[in-house]
Every structure is written in structure tokens, then in C-alpha cells.
Amino acid sequence: MTTPMPATQFEAPATTDRLERAAAALTAHGFAVEILDDAAAARVRMRDLIPEGASVFTGASETLRLSGIDDDINAGGRYEAIKPRAVAMDRTTEADGIRRLLASPDVIVGSVAALTETGSLVIASGSGSQLPGYAGGAARAIWVVGAQKVVPDLETALRRVEDHCLPLESARTRKAYGVPSAVNRLLVLNAERTPGRGTVLLLREAIGF
């Protein structure tokens, strides 16, 4: 039986051994994995991974915001950025168009709430807007994952969602929108059946929630 992780350890970067164990498990499950030193390296790597002119949707992510990747994609002019386009559309009269745009971009980029050493990605969402693309709607998916998000198993991953990520995200949404967040939808990706579709950039540093 795995020893439960104290809540405070959800902020501590995983050791090299644990990162390598998680990377090996993800690779065995069909994901492409790269262990990078930090978010700056991931930011540079994105330019190689995403072809210029591709339609790209960025899921809501503090990791992407803090790293600068969100701005690179949505304001850099190199890609067909989906998020600014969707924001400019009318949510009532163009709701179907927004839904289709978000569900099937060429590339979706985001992060996760937890990554298990057994090779599963756990993603929590209030709206669910990014989940169709992650699950298979996007031709390619790229996740940037801070080292503090690595946990031993799925049970610990779910506890990290509720005990660590949700309070932090609720504080952010209260400040931004005046309402708390909620784990309304939860996606667990255990394997990738299409070679090369899912890429995990696993960082040695802690970043994001």
C-alpha cells in the first residue's frame, strides 16, 4: 500500500528517480515524453513541436500563463490561435461554432492536475471546454507538467485535485470572476493509442498549481 502524501508535499518537486519512473510509464502507455529542465526550455521546445500556421487551442492553465507559452500561442501571430477567436464570438448565437472550434483544433496545449508514476494524466475542469480536445478531438495534444504534479498513484492524484488544486483555482476564479471553481468534470488518460499524438513535457521545476 502506498503511503499517503501530506498535502504540503503536493508543492514539492519530484525527485529525478520519480520523474524518470513517471516518464517510463507514460512511454510504455504510448505517450511521447521529454524531461526538460524548466518552463523556459518547454517554451522553446513548443516552436519545434507545433508547425507554424497550425490551429492551436490552449486550455486554461497557470503553467502556460506563468511560462509565457499562453502568450506565445495566443498573441504571437505564429499560429491560428483558437482562444482569441472563440472569445470574440457571440456565446448565444455562435455557441455551436465555439464548441466545434474548441473540440477539434490541430493542436491542443495545456497542463494537468496530476501525473501518476504509473503513467496516467489527470485533468480537472469546471467547464469541460478543453476535455474533448485532450481526449481525442485534437490531432495532437501537448501537456506541460511541473515536477510537483507527479504523484505515486491515481488515489493520490484525486486527492491532489481536491485538496490542493481546487482551493488554489477557486481563489483565482473568485478574484477573476467573483465565483469559486468546481471539479465538474474529470478526465483520466491512461494511455495513448495513436503514436505521436500525445506529448508530455515533464519539467524538473515546480510551476503552476
Give the CATH fold of the 11-203 domain. Answer: Rossmann fold (3.40.50)
At 1 the pLDDT is 43
Nearest to 108 by CA among 86, 82, 126, 88: 82
- DSSP letters of 87-124? HTS-TTTTHHHHHHHHHS-SEEEE--SEEETTS-EEEE
pLDDT tens by residue, the chain, 209 residues: 444 555 568 999 999 999 999 999 999 999 999 999 999 999 999 999 999 999 999 999 999 999 999 999 999 999 999 999 999 999 999 999 999 999 999 999 999 999 999 999 999 999 999 999 999 999 999 999 999 999 999 999 999 999 999 999 999 999 989 999 999 999 999 999 998 899 999 999 999 99
Burial of 17: CB neighbours in 10 Å, binned 0-12, 13-18, 19+: exposed
User: For the segment 99-138, what is each residue's pLDDT rounded down to a tens digit?
Assistant: 999 999 999 999 999 999 999 999 999 999 999 999 999 9
Please report, as a single letter, which amino acid is at residue 133.
Answer: G
Written as nine digits, the cell of 71 is: 502568450
Instruction: Provide the whole-model pTM.
Output: 0.94
Residue type, 144: V
Residues 157, 145: Cα–Cα separation, whole Å? 14
Strands (E), the chain: 32-36, 55-58, 80-81, 107-110, 114-116, 121-125, 140-145, 150-151, 185-189, 198-203
Please say whether the beta carbons of 49 and 124 come within 8 A: no
By C-alpha distance, which of 126, 145, 148, 147 is closest to 189? 145
Residues 63-82 pLDDT 10s: 999 999 999 999 999 999 99
DSSP character for 194? Answer: S
